[in-house]
Amino acid sequence: AQKVTQTQTSISVVEKTTVTMDCVYETRDSSYFLFWYKQTASGEIVFLIRQDSYKKENATVGHYSLNFQKPKSSIGLIITATQIEDSAVYFCAMREGEGGSALGRLHFGAGTQLIVIP
Amino acid sequence: GPKVLQIPSHQIIDMGQMVTLNCDPVSNHLYFYWYKQILGQQMEFLVNFYNGKVMEKSKLFKDQFSVERPDGSYFTLKIQPTALEDSAVYFCASSRDWGVAEQFFGPGTRLTVL
C-alpha cells in the first residue's frame, strides 16, 4: 500500500490565483514529518516547506502554506498568487518516526503537475 | 539554499558494464541518500548512509549496488553489473541529521543502460 498518495495528476490555474494540492499519508507512528518538494522542468528538486506532526500550527513559507488536517492524515499545499514560474511537478513526502521506517527514508507521492497559465 | 552536486549529469552505458555515480553533498551534512526515479514515476528510496555505513536500504537496492564515501570525498553509488531496468534518474540527497532536518537534493544523474 502506498504510504503517500497524491490523487491529482495535473492542475491548471490562471496566474495570480490560489491553488491547493492534495496529499494524504499513512503511518502508524505518532510522530512524523511531512515535506513538499517541487521538481522543475530541468529536473531540479527543490525543498519548499515542511510540517512536523506534533505542531498544530500550519506552516507558512513565502507564498506557500500548508493545510494540515491530522485526523484525516492530510497535508495540502496551498500556493497563493501563483506565478508562471510555479509551473512544476509538486511532490509530497513523509518521513516516519521511531516506530516506522526511520533513519531518514522519505516516502514520496506520485506528484501533481501544476500548470500556471498567463 | 544548500547545493548538492552530482556528476555526471548523463551516463550511457552498455548492459553488464559498471557505472559509478558521484555526489558532492552539502559540506556540513552528515547523512546521505540515494533515490531512484524512473521516467514519469515517483522517487523511490534506495539507501541511506552515515559514518561510513549503510544505515537502511530498500528492496530496490540490489546486490549489484554499493555505496561509499572514502575519506570525505564524493558519496558514490556503484552498480556492477548494470541491467536494463537500472535505467532511471538517480538523485543524491543529504541532510544535517536523519531525524528532523529536511533533505536537499542534487540535480540527478540520468543513467541509460543499453
Rg (CA), chain A: 14
Q: Cβ B33–A104 below 8 Å, yes or no?
A: yes
> Is residue A98 predicted with pLDDT exceeding 70?
no
**In the β-sheet with B5-7, what is the strand arrangement from edge to edge?**
B5-7, B19-24, B75-79, B65-68
The dihedral of CA A41, A118, A58, A27: what is its sign?
negative
Q: Are A92 and A25 in contact (CB under 8 A)?
A: yes
In this prediction, residue A72 carries a pLDDT of 96
Instruction: Encode pLDDT of A7-46 as tens digits.
Output: 999 999 999 999 999 999 999 888 899 999 999 998 889 9
What confidence tens digit (pLDDT) does each residue in A40-90 have? 998 889 999 999 999 999 999 999 999 999 999 999 999 999 999 999 999
Is the pLDDT score of A1 beyond 70? no
Q: If phi over 0 gives left and psi between -120 and 50 gives alpha, with beta otherwise, what is residue B69?
A: beta
Q: Across all residues in chain B, what is the average pLDDT?
A: 92
On the question of pLDDT at A99 being above 60, the answer is no
Sort out which chain B residues have CB atoms less than 8 A from A64's CB and list them.
Answer: none
Q: Once rounded to an integer, what is the mean pLDDT over residues B81-95?
A: 96
Predicted pLDDT at A103: 63
Q: Touching check for B85 and chain A: CB below 8 Å?
A: no
HSE-CB for B3 with a 13 A CA cutoff: 2
Which of A5, A40, A45, A98 best probes binding to B when mutated, by most B CB atoms within 10 angstroms? A45
pLDDT of A100:
45
CA of B105: which chain A residue's CA is closest? A45
pLDDT in tens, B1-57: 778 999 999 999 999 999 999 999 998 898 999 999 998 888 999 999 998 999 889
Does A47 sit within 8 Å of B103, measured CB to CB? yes
Task: Tell me the residue ranges of DSSP E strands in chain A.
Answer: 4-5, 10-14, 19-21, 24-25, 32-39, 45-52, 60-61, 64-69, 74-79, 88-96, 107-108, 112-117
Minimum mean pLDDT range among A68-82, A100-114, B53-67: A100-114
Contact B41 A44 (CB under 8 A): no
What is the per-residue pLDDT for B21? 98
pLDDT band at A96 (very low <50, low <70, confident <90, very high): confident
First CA to last CA distance, chain B? 36
